[in-house]
Every structure is written in structure tokens, then in C-alpha cells.
Structure 1
């Protein structure tokens, strides 16, 4: 049974008919329906250097398409664990606000400071463990559903290989910043870093924790 192929207009490489981008140079071949919405439109700029971590997180909030465009070019620098950490720190600050709501008469500054730190650490650890389990459970559920519907894991293994692999013949340091390899072949020389990438999708929950903290801080004043 023959498989439909399509030829890249930039480099001439043949890719499968279901590919949305050329596997060699990264040129877009098809437009997804969701890209008709400007918020989700694919970025087609040349990539040279990764954004700093704080810009990655900022773009995850204001422009997810640009954020994932940058993150996908250097997946090991994905800020997924930072998002989990910051979200847990917000839990700690929420605990601190709740503790400061209570006034302990006759307590010294040292006593109050010590208990404030304890409350912060307790809520931080609770937030980290709770969100770690929740996020990875949701990633597991999504992966199971995606495997059932489109073979998600098999696609990742086919494209990126299984587990950690050694650097291929094309090394990043040998590539010109103007090379078309930057857009396609180099992406496939990386590991998938599936969990770190998917943790970035929980940025809205971090924003929700920021809102909770602001509401509690204002409401308890």
C-alpha cells in the first residue's frame, strides 16, 4: 500500500502526506484549522538563539504559539519544571498570607517569624507534591488518550528515538546560524523531552495561583 507524499517547496525533501512541516528544513507544508485563529498561528520566523527563561514564561502567557516555537527548538531548556516550582512557591505565599491573618497576642517577633517560615514551607511542599502528582497524572491521562486516538508515543519514538541518544553527525556547533538545518533536521537530533514540554501547558494554573494570592492579600487587608 503506497503512502501519500508531499514535496517541500524550499528544499525538495519528500515528507509524508500527513506532515505539517518539512522534516528536513522545517518549512510549513500544511495549515491546521486551528491556525485560522491568530492566537494559535504557527510562527515561521528563522530561529537563532533561545529566549531567556523569563521570556519563555511571559510568552507562554501572552503568546503561546511563539513560546512553543522557541521551546521546540531547544527542548532541554523547556521551563516546565520552573513553572511547577513557581506555582509551588505561590502556594507557599498563600500559606504565608493565611498565617498572617491570625494575630497571636504576646508572641515575640522571633516566634512569629519562625512560624511564618514553617507555614510557608508547609504550603510550598504541599503545593509542590500536589501539583507534581496532578500535572503528571494529567500528562499520563492525555498521553493515554492521544496514544489511543493518534498513536502519540509511537509518533514521538519514530521522530526522536527512544531514551537518550548520542549527538548525531550534525552537531549544533557546526551549523551556521543561517542554515536550513536549524529549522528541521536539528530539531530531530534532540530528545522529545515530552514531560518538560507538556508541563508548560500548565501555565494557566500558575496564573490562577497568582490571582488567588492577590485576592487573599487584598481581602485580608
Structure 2
């Protein structure tokens, strides 16, 4: 890995052994060295991943990560189960793989400190693709793009560079009848906005292989 000198040490002193002579067998004095540099540092860690999972709390991001990789994030039926980003390696085939980061759930006002989002939005900066996980059972026809627009607004308010990254939509919980019945409508709504959309079920595994190959293909471009 890379190395950098943050603070230089001082000039070394001379120990009592250096003052030993034929007449001074055991000198009881030494020469002190010079003090080194002192600095206070603020370190900001940004994880490196190919794909960043974003979405509202309980959208199914952690469940998805556990299904497509060997990662074992905490999964529970309450908001903000994920408190720190989780990484998982997704194998496409025997040779190809990519890294996915599960970012804790974002809510409106995340860039200002609401919820947990402002602490982890920085991790999305180093991803190549943003994958929006949207809970299909929570979408209302009168505002199909609501959660997507809220998340994108938070990303843009944090850094305009984030919304310029390639974005893919995954409508989760397609195993539910109510979501299946609306899938054509949902896909049309996102297609009109120019986004590629996948229907998946993180719970049953439906559509996950198609999603994996779609992400891999986009990463290869």
C-alpha cells in the first residue's frame, strides 16, 4: 500500500554506552535527542466499492446484500437496522466479481444530519454505480417516483457528483401480488425518466441473477 510521512521524528540522542571509555566503564549520563513533530489529524475513511446500495430504511438493501454475496448484515423489521456500511463481494462467474456496499437507510434531510445518512453519504462518492432499492409495496401511483426523487435530492445536496454517476433502479418485493400487478406501470414510469429498471425479490431470489449480470455489464462499459 501507499506510505506517507505525517510527522517526522526528532534527531536521536546518545545513550550512556556511547560515552564509555577506558577510564569510564559505566557512565551514568546520556545525551537527550531532539523532539519530533507533533500534529493533530482528522482522518475520514471512505470505503471502496463498485456498487452502492441506497434507499429508504427497510427497503430490503441488507437482505439483497445477503442474497447476492456472502455478507451477513443484520436484518430486522425495523428502521435503521444497518448502522454502518456493509461490504459484500458478488461473484458473476469463476473469474469476474464486484464489490457492493450497503449504505444505511437514507431519509429526507439526510444531508443535514437527519437519520444516519450524513455520516455515510461520503462512502457513495467512491462507488462507480448507484443502485436504488425501492420497496415496491410502498409505491403510490400518484407519486411513483417519490422515494427515488427524495434519495436523489439528498445525494445531490451532499455532492452534485453523486447524481452524475450511473444509476440503476431495482423494485424490490416483486413476489407480492400487489407489486406484480403494478410492475408494468412502475417500469414505464422509470423508463420515461431514462433509467434502467429491474424487478427483484430479495426474499425469494427472483430476478437477482438478471440484476447481477446487468450490474456487471454496466461496470464493464
Q: Normalised by the size of structure 1, how large is the TM-score?
A: 0.23
Give the structure with the higher percent strand: 2
Bigger Rg over Cα = 2
- Greater fraction helix: 1
TM-score (norm 2): 0.23
